[in-house]
A and B are shown apart, each in its own frame.
Chain A
Amino acid sequence: MELRRQGLSEQSFAFLILLPAAVVIFGVVLFPLVTTFIYSLQNMELISAEKGKFLGLLNYLRVLRSDWFWQALGRTMYFTVVSLTVETVLGLLIALLLNTRFHGVGLLRVLIIIPWATPGIVTASIWKWIYNPEYGVLNAVLTRLHILGQYRAWLSDPFLAMNMVIVADVWKMTPFAVIFFLAALQFINKSLYEAATVDGAGVFSRFWHITLPYLVPTMAVVVVMRTMEKFKAFDVFYVMTRGGPANGTKVLVYEAYLKAFSNLQYSISSTLSYLIAVLVLAFTIAYVRLLKRGEASDS
């Protein structure tokens, strides 16, 4: 009433209310996106004498022709595929377990969320300490169990270090998969299982023919979301290995960070960022297509 009297229509009032949010979104999302793209077409190396020169797609060519890009991409893919596979399988198994009824299942369902709720930087610091070659819990446990003869360094071999980082990441992100699967499992019609049991289906065939097909869409969502996140993984590498040893854990995003904030090569870093975005986009489209085809064949 008050507004009408002041001559503001409902539409302009809505616009007025949305304006601050719009300004913020344009300022912190759109503007950097556009600027980054412009940088990727220029020479924006702060120590260069030719700073500001327009280069067209030369930066993209430079990155795509370099060895370090493909190596970093390979490491990123390895990290993504391995950790995602382990997380999905482990997440499914834990979800199946938590879907059964036993004493204390409620408490367990709450506990499982803790790693996921812990900030990434904290998780990475915890695992860095667990792996510590002198005081690490992992060394202590393994030597006491006589699995390991003596304390060893877990993050000093390039390939081993990558796998140890994957373990830390799996620990943190498996709960995410568990929660999704658990939610989906709760919706499966119990009478389906009863009917199958009557028809003589065993545990595995019930899982294979009822549970798994039912979980496929959820799995697709988990995989799509996690692939995007994995490609952007940064904190765990920043804290645990800083890309080392011998570049063994230098993934794409960490490379982009180093190029910008250590080497002052803003153009190369921007180019890299856009390439990462394109890759993630390509994955997402592929997954969604796959998902749609699956749905079509189901019906």
Chain B
Amino acid sequence: MTKKSLIIMVVLVAVAAAAFADTVTINALFMKQAGYQEEDIIGGTRDFQAAHPEINVNLTFVPYEQLEEKIITSAQAGSYDVVLSDGPFTAKFAQAGIVKSVPPLAPADQKDIFEGALSSTVYKGKSYGMPWLNDCKYLFYNKKILQAAGFANPPRTWEELAAQAKVIKDKKLVKFPMVWSWAQAECLTCDYTVLSAAFGGAMFDKDGNPTLTAAGNKKALDYMVASLKDGLTNPNSLEFTENEVDSTFIKGDAAFALNWTFQFSEGQDASKSAIVGQTGVALIPGSGSVRSATVNGGQPLSISAGSKRSAEAWTYILYMSSKDFQKKFPKNALPIWKSLYDDKDVMASNPEVVKVAKEQYNYLVNRPVVPFYSEFSTDLQVRIQEVLQGKKTSDQALKEVQAKALELASRK
């Protein structure tokens, strides 16, 4: 090789490198679980890169259980720019400086996103993420069992549900009509959030003061205990998370189940379900003056505190939460945008769920937005389990959680 051609090659390589230097790379952390599937996210990211050739996105998928740990441990190094967060993390992450605050959305956009989803990203007046995965719990029921028991409609109140369950049990249609996710895990807090709100209770007031001893909270806990005692609830619920609730329900071993959106498509999936065509979905019952209540399971996308590519990260987040992306996968997750619920394609893809969802989202309840949420939630789970196992009365347990919450709130 002559000296000249060597020089030419070096120049060419330098030019190519300079051209590549224009593209920036951002890293994004997602979960591999319910909601949008891996291939949905990969496909959406590919479309994003086609529209933004200057931004290169690396994707990482972890199970939900590892998400929080990954976000916390990577925050300082900025190993990820975009992270999939969770509603209950918002306050804690904001306070501890784990995620960055994000620019406000246009008023028209704000109006079009479900209020509960949007508020789960806000802490002390600032937004720390963009709602992305939209989910809440619904009441799923087995149409065939209800019919056999002589009920034309799913129950509208929890009292009615217990009465129907009693008939179903007496007629021996299933051994335990209700199944729940009451394992000592976040899913128990979710179920309790639903019940306490449905019975008119609340765990914290608007200013973040604990109100655990309110009457509705006790009613909810007593309802849980009674359903176990009367044999209406599957006792294995105490070690079930959502996945076991799902498998019990699709085996046809339960008449009622509280679960996230994915339960419906699981029930219709002939490869695993024994109850294809029998899954009904309804508004979660209320009690007294409360028509319904559900828990917000939505998860926002946030920007990690250590990110050096905030602008590109935000562009990517806006794309992934845009209507274009969100209307493509209504079977896996429903959009955060209200206007998409009138979209023909969205409606047609999952009509039964979309119909209920539209109404159910109006009764969205957030888990407490307090920075000490994790500790509070763990304590609540333990106390509830003690009550369910008959080791404590509901009064005693709620008083203890209240004391704990007060202590946590006063801690500097």
Contact = CB atoms under 8 A, between A and B. Distances in A.
Interface of A: 46-50, 133-135, 153, 155-158, 241-247, 258, 261-264
Given A153-B236, A245-B389, A262 B184 contact: no
Given A246-B385, A246-B386, A47 B239 contact: no
B343 interface: no
B235 A247 contact: no
Across chains A and B, which 3 residue pairs bring their CB atoms closest together, nearest first?
A244-B184, A46-B96, A156-B238
Contacts of B185: 242, 244
Contacts of A49: 412
Contacts of A258: 378
Nearest to B97: A46
Contact of A156 (B68, B239, B371): B239
Contacts of B255: none
Interface of B: 68-69, 72-73, 92, 95-98, 183-185, 235-236, 238-239, 244, 247-248, 251, 253, 371-372, 374-375, 378, 381-382, 385-386, 389, 391, 411-412
A47 B92 contact: yes
Contacts of B386: 246
Given A46-B98, A261-B69, A134 B247 contact: yes
Given A244-B381, A245-B238, A246-B184, A262 B389 contact: no
18 contacts: A46-B95, A47-B95, A47-B372, A134-B248, A134-B253, A135-B247, A153-B235, A242-B184, A244-B183, A244-B381, A245-B183, A245-B184, A245-B239, A245-B389, A246-B382, A261-B68, A261-B73, A264-B374
A45 to B, nearest CB: 8
Contacts of A242: 183-185
Given A246-B386, A246-B389, A48 B247 contact: no
B244 A134 contact: yes
Nearest to A50: B412
A61 to B, nearest CB: 16
Dominant SS among interface residues on chain B: helix
Nearest to A264: B96
Nearest to B248: A134
Contacts of A153: 235-236, 238-239
Contacts of A46: 95-98
B236 A133 contact: yes
Given A134-B248, A245-B183, A246-B184, A48 B412 contact: yes
Contacts of A246: 184, 382, 385-386, 389, 391
Given A50-B412, A245-B183, A134 B236 contact: yes
B236 A263 contact: no
A157 B96 contact: no
Contact of A264 (B92, B378, B382, B412): B92
A263 B377 CA distance: 10
A2 to B, nearest CB: 32
B184 A243 contact: yes
Contacts of A135: 247
A249 B389 CA distance: 15
Nearest to B69: A261
A64 B347 CA distance: 58
A157 B412 contact: no
A157 B389 contact: yes
A263 B389 contact: no
A131 B375 CA distance: 28
Contacts of B72: 261, 264
Nearest to A158: B389
B239 A263 contact: no
Contacts of B69: 261
Contacts of B378: 258, 262
Contact of A133 (B239, B372, B385): B239
B391 A262 contact: no
B389 A155 contact: no
A52 B68 CA distance: 23
**Most interface-central of A47, A48, A155 (chain B CB within 10 A):** A47
Nearest to B70: A261
Nearest to A132: B244
Nearest to A238: B65
Contacts of B253: 134
B96 A263 contact: no
Contacts of B375: 262-263
Given A49-B412, A133-B239, A262 B68 contact: yes
A246 B387 CA distance: 9
Contacts of A262: 68, 374-375, 378
Given A134-B253, A261-B72, 6 more contacts: A46-B95, A47-B92, A134-B236, A244-B239, A258-B378, A262-B375
Contact of A48 (B68, B251, B391, B411): B411
Given A153-B235, A258-B378, A244 B97 contact: no
Contact of B96 (A47, A158, A241, A247): A47
A48 B95 CA distance: 8
Contacts of B391: 246
Given A134-B236, A155-B239, A247-B382, A263 B374 contact: yes
Contacts of B412: 48-50
B212 to A, nearest CB: 18
A243 B381 CA distance: 11
Nearest to A249: B184
A156 B237 CA distance: 9
B122 to A, nearest CB: 17
B39 to A, nearest CB: 25
A264 B98 CA distance: 10
A82 to B, nearest CB: 21
Contacts of A243: 184
A158 B72 CA distance: 30
